[in-house]
Amino acid sequence: MKLKLSQIADMLQLPWNGQSNPQITNITFDSRKIEAGSLFVPLVAQRDGHDFVNAAFKNGAQATLWQKDHSLPADLVGNYLIVDDTLDALQQLSKAYLKQVNPKVVAITGSNGKTTTKDMVAAVLASKYRVVKTQDNFNNELGVPLTILSMSSDTQILVVEMGMDRPGQLLALSALAQPDVAVITMIGEAHIEFFGTRAKIADAKMEIVHSLKEQGVFIYNGDEPLLEQRSQKVRQKKFTFGLQESCDLWAHNVQTYPDHTTFKINAAPDLQFFIPLMGDYNVDNALAALLVGRQFQVSMEQMQSALAVFQPTKNRTQWLKASNGAQLLSDVYNANPTAMIDVINNFSKVPTKGRRILVLGDMLELGEQAPQLHASIVQAISEKSIAEVYLLGDLMKNLQKQLTLPTHYYRADQQAQLIAALKADLQRNDVVLLKASNGLHLDKVVQALQN
């Protein structure tokens, strides 16, 4: 973005009487990440961002927002705009900037696969258009507006990921982004603690179409009955993807390998598609991306080439190497039962001269069903394909009770002991899958094995 501070004031419907009118080229809420041209947004949270405004100016901020229920300090030096609420102002600014740039918007949500799908969609569309996508996991009330405001003025398509952990959240994000295309990857158990049932999760995911433009398109997983039922109420055009022939776009001849997957589709029978990720579950994500590309007239051949080289976000089924040469499959960003079972099933087929070892941590936000859902992971763990299991976290005790193969259990506060035991046990020909919710910090185990 490139906006004069006076333009930002105008977008926020604020009076402008500044002495200087600097150009703003980026927006941040972290005073440590100030760059030249930054507008600092002090958010009111556990740490009140207003306490860091002076630090932001010292670090080079050009201006700051200021929430009017905070008294202006006498020593405040710099450009500031007084607003009712800083988060609301950030969202309103992003909505105004989105209207000004006016790109097509693709919004993506789902219990699993939304980040990978976002990366695939962006890669497919970038073969023909100027595309901006959500970075990292900036997919909430704060991340979505920051993604919008990161666009350059010549952006043609914005690909925005939308997460949710409560009813109504996607209603607000959909209203903010006003999507031209809305995508739901699948319905799983993520955040079931807050919803109670998969049906209620499906209801909440469907909120993404609430502000879908009248001429927009809804793309969803046609293998999921919960979505098929709810899609009947959507007026806009609809297209489905999946593995069943009843879907508009369906895959067949799926072949999965340790570091890639190939498949064919009904819409282009002569083409074989390649994605640089293990797992047949990633084929659904690729199908969603292909359907999005078709809405923007990207050819099948262009999409085939783009998917073959797309770069997935870090720590999502990412192959790494331990310091002793063992292969590590890092999938430690997030976890829920559907995703964990899928990745274990695929990992169990990985060829190896050594052992297949699982390192699994607690899956969070599963509520009262957490014990039984953790125990249910046993269905994916076969003694014929898995040699050992390392478990971390209080909830994983429920899985330990179900397992008969060699299992090592550690409480959540015993990560150091797990690392020491795993390092002593690991051999150079072994392959290791590491998966847990982000709150278990298995990324530290991955780093320790690499060092």
Q: Which residues sit in the known binding site?
A: 110-116
Alpha-carbon gap, residue 63 to 297, rounded angstroms? 42
Sign of the alpha-carbon dihedral angle for 57, 46, 315, 136: negative
Number of Cβ within 10 Å of residue 185's Cβ equals 28
CA 240 to CA 224: how far, in whole Å?
10
**Residues with Cβ < 8 Å from 262, sequence gap 6 or more?**
253, 254, 255, 272, 273, 274, 275
Q: How far is CA 412 from CA 70, 293, 330, 436, in A?
A: 40, 43, 19, 11
Decide: helix, strand or coil at residue 397: helix
Closest by alpha carbon to 200, among 164, 173, 234, 235? 164
Q: Structure tokens of 208?
A: 């993404």
Strand partners, 64: 40, 80
From residue 209, how far is each of 23, 172, 181, 322 by CA, in Å?
A: 35, 11, 9, 44
CA triple 404-410-416, angle to 5 deg: 140
Could you list the residues known to form a binding site for ATP, using ranges: 110-116
Cβ proximity of 208 and 182 under 8 Å: yes
152 contacts: CB under 8 Å, gap ≥ 6: 1, 2, 130, 132
Q: From CA 24, how far away is CA 56, in angstroms rounded?
A: 14
Largest CA distance in the chain: 73
